[in-house]
Structure formats: structure tokens, C-alpha cells
Structure 1
Amino acid sequence: MLPAPLFLSLLHHKYIGRYPNLLRPTTFNEKILQKSLRPDPWLTELTDKLTVRDYVARKLGESHLIPLLAAPETFTKEVFDALPDSFVMKANHGSTYVKVVRNKSATSFEELRDLANHWLSLDFYKIGREKHYRPIKPRIFFEQLLLDESGNVPPDYKLQCFGAKSGRLVIYILVISDRFGADTRGDLYDVNWNHLDVVIGEYKPSENPPPRPDNLDAIVDAGIKLSADFDYVRVDLYSPNSQIYFGELTFTPGAGVLPFMPDRIDYEWGSLIPDAYLSITPSLRATSPGVR
């Protein structure tokens, strides 16, 4: 029932330990809160995990999209029966709505249907007041399950891309390992793969940080292409067996209440985002499909 600015200020104080300055934001989290409250309308199209695929195909190429198995208007038994033995079920309108199915015979249509219906009933906007999520029509879809050569879900490369639109690009790479396992870890690197002593959110660093991927240059290049229109965006990629696949674009990570250790990173990353920045080049918005 609280107005969004008050709700977010209280949430920020709870997780960050101070009240945000929403009028003159300086930290990373404050500027993310600003974007949550006043997003460009185009962000809805780019945040929707289905409609963003068209943008990625234009910028990076269709070969970098995870193969889409089904995106039904209604999840029925017929849809379930037509799916392969392994797949990933997702919802398009929020975060963490992901179900990995390695063996379809070990689950049931009813179990997945109930989970899908639960996701569809949730208003993701109410969780963190990220306004650009509000217009997204919730849908369930199914993608091919990506596995590396060891049969494991590949690491998630989250490229924090600052300043691309203004020509002062800075990239940090957060690597999430064992995301769906019992020992999920998060390791932060600079673009040259120097491991940084930084903790982001709930992700604790690994005792033995992941080695530099052989195709790091290609991963970074994909991030550069997908971030070119923005002053800040997080580009999520996967690279099983040296093939690069798109995960999602995130404009308001952690809903603006993402703790950093040390806390100075909140200020350092905030300085990389221009004050009162516009996330999208107006000329690109004018020519983008679906933008009015």
C-alpha cells in the first residue's frame, strides 16, 4: 500500500543500511532505484524474456539465442507431451522463474502446470516496484537445456556494462557457478580476468575461482554489442563448449537494494553511470519495433 518511492527507500535502508537519495542519486543502487521509478518505456520490451529475443537476433544474431521449444498461450498436457526429455521451463515476466528438467519422466505435467500457474499468478512489480515489469503479459515458455561437456549447467556470465552509449565502456564480469546446485558461488572479475575481492548480494566467492574461459574475448564482444545502446545494462550470457548464448538483459539488478562488500563499490559503480542518465538513444527508440 506504500507509495513506490517510500517503499523503495525503506527497502534500501533494510538491505543497504542507509536511506537513498532519490533526487540526487550517486551510488549504483540509488541510480538503479531511479531507473526503477522512471524507466524508459522501451525497457519493458527488452526485459520481457520473449520479446527481447528479436532485439538480440538483430544485434547479435539468431544463432546466439537458446533454442525455443515452445511458448504456448496455455500450458496443456499436449504441450508437455511434445517436449523433449530435458528442457528448461521459464516465465517471461520476472526473475528466478526457472525450472530445470533433466529427465521428464521424473516429473509430471501436473507438477509443472501447478508451478507455471503459480508463476503466472505473481505480480513481479509488487516485489521490487520495478515499473518496467508492470506491463509485461506473463507467459510460460520452454527452452533447450544447455549443458557443458561434463553434463553440467554452464556458468552464468553476468557482464556489468557501464558507459557504452557514451563511449566510455567499462565492463565487470560476475560469474555464477553451480547456480542450480547446493554450492552456488559468485566471482567478480575485471575485463582482463583479474579476480576482484568483492561480494555482490548473496553470492559468496569461490575458494578456487573459475579459470579464464578460452573464448573470453568473444564473450566480452557479445556484451559490447548488446550494451551499445545503453549507459548501463547487465548482459547475461552462457558459453557451454565455447558457444555463446544469450540469457537476458537486466536494467535494474537487485531492484536497487543490492548489497556490496566492500560498500565503496556501490559508490564506485555509481560514478560510472551518468547522472540522470537516459538509457536509450532516442534515434534507436524511434526506429525500434513496438516502440511508440
Structure 2
Amino acid sequence: MQIPVHAKRYAFTQVVKLSPIAASKLLYWNRFKTRLNLENPKTFNEKLMWLKLFEDVEFKRRFIDKVKAREYMITVGYNYLLPPLIGIFDEIEDIIFEQLPRKFVLKCSHGEGMTIVCENKREMDYRETRQHLAEMMATDYSLKYAEPHYSSIFPRIIIERLIESSTGDDVKEYNIHCFHGVPKIIESTFDRFTPKEQTLMLTPDWFNTNYLKKKHPFDEAKARPAQLDELLAIAKKLSKPFTYVRIDLKVVDEKVYFNNFTFTPDACLNNQMQEDDSLKLGQWLDLDIGKSRHPVTVARSKY
């Protein structure tokens, strides 16, 4: 008899609550069909898993919480990189949709992918939107992929103005992988929604690393952003406190905007990278494995 999907999800969340390490090992086995080596991690995924499970979670929460991340960006003088804020709400009932602009973005503060983009308020079903928000607000994102740094974040709703190109061009996103405060890889997707769509990992000098398995012809010079130096400078400054972080930025109408701090890209389960290259990226991370550490928990506490 096949076990229903919702039953599998419930069982997995119980494992996460009991042991994020055991849950991470299950995720890793399901994706790679090999054992997660936390005693002597070598690949990029393994080392990200180790950082996820043993690094200071409380510190990371300050940057994962989207409300606190905005506050931090203002503190370090990067308020000009933030999309214009409409409001921050603790309760869905406090949002008066009739008073919002025609275009806006709703984000929950405590997880990834919990975003609603409104391009035309007249076409929005307010009741359905409130229901969707309620589901997202009730989600403990830390239980989805055993990511402890997402636990104990107070769920709030951020409403920002929709940032879009005045010319209709695709918004360019640049996710910059930083190792010990040094930007080393720029990950971006090109030719979106076309047969030639591809995600690439590029060097800071804008050369294709060929780290990813899927390949298409790529013209580096044509795709190089005019803001490359600015993007790298921002990533370098923001990544300075961390062993590893991905600084997610975007460019719209030649202006740079901040998206997120990301500590566990692809939930530490990226299977699109060549094995040798995953080992190479792993070598860029120096972990203090010998120091005694206690595994962190994900059970949500009172805020």
C-alpha cells in the first residue's frame, strides 16, 4: 500500500523535531543515494549541511528574518538597495487591500518562497489571498528541509512596492556565493522561459565555470552586467561576518536591489553540479569541525 504524501510529510516533520541531523541524513540519502558525511565533510553540499546543523543559529536568524534583514541593511547604509516599503503587519486582518497601490508584493518574514506578487489589484481575489497568507503564516518553514535557522522567527507580513522594468525587460537576478567574506561564484539564469534557458555559475571576472551539468552556448560579454563591480562590492561587504552566505541581488532598470541572505541554497541538496566541482567548492570552506559543538534544534519556541 502506498503511503499518502501528507502522511510522509507529517512523519518527516516529526523526525526533524526529534533530530535535524537524522532528518538531514534522510534528505541527503533520498537525493544522492549516498551517506551524508558530517564527520569529515568534503563536498559543497556536505559542508553546507555541516554549517546548517552546527553553526550559530541565533546569529543567522537575524539575517534570515526578512524584517530584521531590512533593519540590518539600513544599519549598514544599504537602505537604498531595499524595495520601497508599504508596511509590516503582524496580523492579516490589519491589511486593508483597498488602500494598497495597484501593484505590490506580499512576503512572509519567516521562510523562502512565501511570496505573493500582485501585478493588478483589480484582478486580485482578496478572500483567496487572505487564505493563502494564513496558510503561509501558519507554516513552520524550518521543518520543510530541517533548517534550524528558520525556526523561532516571528511570522510577519511585509508589503513592498513591486519593482519591475520600465521597458518590460526580464529582471536580472545575481546570487553571489561568498566564502569567508570573499565573493567567488555568481549564479544567474539567462534566457528565461525560452528553450535556451540555463542557470550558470560564473567567476567574479565573468567567465563560465562549467560547474553545472546542463550546458548551452553562452556569450559572456553579452550577458555581463554593467553593475558587476557594484554587485561584487555589495556582496563582499554583506558577507564579511559569515563562513558562507549567498547574497541574492537583482538589477532592474540599471539599479541594484537586495533580495535575501541565503545560507542553505537548494536546501544543501544541489544535484546539478559536477561532483569534482562540488569538491572544489567544498575546499573553499574551512570548518572548525574539531571544536566541540552541539547540534541545534528546530522546534519553534515562543516568540
TM-score bracket, normalised by the shorter chain, equals: 0.7 to 0.9
| Aligned residue identity for 1:220 | L
- Say which SS state the counterpart of residue 105 (structure 2) adopts: strand
Deviations 1:94-135 (CA, angstroms, capped at 9, x unpaired): 111122211111112112111111111211111111111111
Q: Equivalent of 2:166, from 144, 149, 164?
A: 149
Please give the alpha-carbon distance, in whole angstroms, between the structure 2 residues aligned to 1:39 and 1:32: 10
Q: Identity over aligned residues, as a percent?
A: 27
Please give the alpha-carbon distance, in whole angstroms, between the structure 2 residues aligned to 1:68 and 1:185: 32
Note the residue ranges of structure 2 that are not aligned, 5 or more in a row: 1-13, 290-303
| Aligned residue identity for 2:152 | P
Deviations 1:222-246 (CA, angstroms, capped at 9, x unpaired): 1111111122110001111221111
- 2:178 equivalent in structure 1: 161
- 2:147 equivalent in structure 1: 130
Normalised TM-score (structure 1): 0.85
Note the residue ranges of structure 1 that are not aligned, 5 or more in a row: 278-292
Please give the alpha-carbon distance, in whole angstroms, between the structure 2 residues aligned to 1:137 and 1:248: 17
Cα pair 2:176 2:183 within 8 Å, conserved: no
Q: Equivalent of 1:218, from 230, 236, 250?
A: 230
- 1:198 equivalent in structure 2: 211
Normalised TM-score (structure 2): 0.82
Please give the alpha-carbon distance, in whole angstroms, between the structure 2 residues aligned to 1:276 and 1:78: 46
Cα pair 2:183 2:236 within 8 Å, conserved: no
Deviations 1:53-79 (CA, angstroms, capped at 9, x unpaired): 121222242111111112112223752
C-alpha distance 43-163 of structure 1, shift in aligned 2 (>3 A): same
Please give the alpha-carbon distance, in whole angstroms, between the structure 1 residues aligned to 2:166 and 2:107: 23
- 2:9 equivalent in structure 1: none
1:250 and 2:262 aligned: yes
- 2:87 equivalent in structure 1: 70
- Say which SS state the counterpart of residue 175 (structure 1) adopts: strand
- 2:97 equivalent in structure 1: 80
Please give the alpha-carbon distance, in whole angstroms, between the structure 1 residues aligned to 2:61 and 2:44: 21
Q: Could you tell me how far 1:177 is from its partner in structure 2?
A: 4.8
Residues matched between the structures, number:
269
- 1:175 equivalent in structure 2: 188
Please give the alpha-carbon distance, in whole angstroms, between the structure 2 residues aligned to 1:81 and 1:153: 29
Cα pair 2:109 2:155 within 8 Å, conserved: yes
Cα pair 2:183 2:235 within 8 Å, conserved: no
Deviations 1:25-57 (CA, angstroms, capped at 9, x unpaired): 222111211122223111011111111112122
- Rg larger in 1 or in 2? 2
Q: Equivalent of 1:13, from 14, 29, 32?
A: 29
- Say which SS state the counterpart of residue 222 (structure 1) adopts: helix
Please give the alpha-carbon distance, in whole angstroms, between the structure 2 residues aligned to 1:192 and 1:257: 27
1:96 and 2:113 aligned: yes
Please give the alpha-carbon distance, in whole angstroms, between the structure 2 residues aligned to 1:152 and 1:73: 34
Deviations 1:121-163 (CA, angstroms, capped at 9, x unpaired): 2111111111111111112211111112322451211000112
